[in-house]
Copies of this chain bind each other. A is one copy, B any other.
């Protein structure tokens, strides 16, 4: 399988962590791929028209996007759907928390693009503030109901961990650890997992 991704994206990192947790990482041929709004990339757009990362191409040539679909595909490929709590009464809660964690990462990337991709004259602080208002509200939800410290890790936990890692990477001044101490305590052993340790964003 060919995985187009980069460690700088929380969505690609989530997929790589899922592959590690499933024992599939060795089967991924990773193609380092940089995308940014406004940056033409006609070769990559031939692979996936929205030019988003990650994207997976499997052996028969089928394109699999985007990150939640890739994660679910990898789990189905090895027949191990525990990450998705498939047979648990918490299944829909896990999927919804996964969506909220992804929302945190999406808002963080949107805030970053405002300053990293947009010409200075058109940058709008109000947009960034709005993204962080959402991020703070969502992290507040997780802080009040943090993931279990023990037991099986879920796809929601992985996505929350990579979203927090992205905030560390791009917005160290946001100081989420001081605002959300229960999450700061929870993430410590998560970050120490081999899957997380092997996929840290570049410095």
Interface centre among A72, A124, A140 (most CB of B within 10 A): A124
B92 and A130 within 8 A (CB) = no
Could you say which of A13-21, A61-69, A164-172, A189-197 contacts chain B? A61-69
| CB 8 Å contact bits of A76-116 with B (1 = contact, 0 = none) | 00000000000000001101100110011001000000000
A134 to B39, CA, bound (A): 12
B119 and A124 within 8 A (CB) = yes
Contact of A202 with B by CB under 8 A? no
Contact of A37 among B45, B130, B140 (CB under 8 A): B130
Could you say which of A1-9, A22-30, A49-57, A179-187 contacts chain B? A49-57
A38 to B124, CA, bound (A): 11
A185 to B103, CA, bound (A): 35
Which residue in chain B gives the minimum CB-CB distance to A119? B124
Contact of A107 among B50, B66, B100 (CB under 8 A): B50
Contact of A51 among B49, B104, B134 (CB under 8 A): B134
The number of residues on chain A lying at the interface, defined by a beta carbon within 8 Å of a beta carbon of chain B, is 40
Number of copies: 2
Contact of A96 among B37, B45, B65, B107 (CB under 8 A): B65
- Nearest-Cβ distance from residue A42 to partner chain B, whole angstroms: 9
Assuming the contacts A49-B137, A49-B141, asked whether A92 and B107 have C-beta atoms less than 8 A apart, the reply is no
- Nearest-Cβ distance from residue A149 to partner chain B, whole angstroms: 22
Assuming the contacts A50-B134, A134-B49, asked whether A63 and B103 have C-beta atoms less than 8 A apart, the reply is no
- Residues of B near A119 (CB, < 8 A) are 124, 126
- Residues of B near A127 (CB, < 8 A) are 37-38, 118, 122
A73 and B50 within 8 A (CB) = no
Contact of A123 with B by CB under 8 A? yes
- Residues of B near A66 (CB, < 8 A) are 99, 103
- Nearest-Cβ distance from residue A128 to partner chain B, whole angstroms: 11
Contact of A138 with B by CB under 8 A? yes
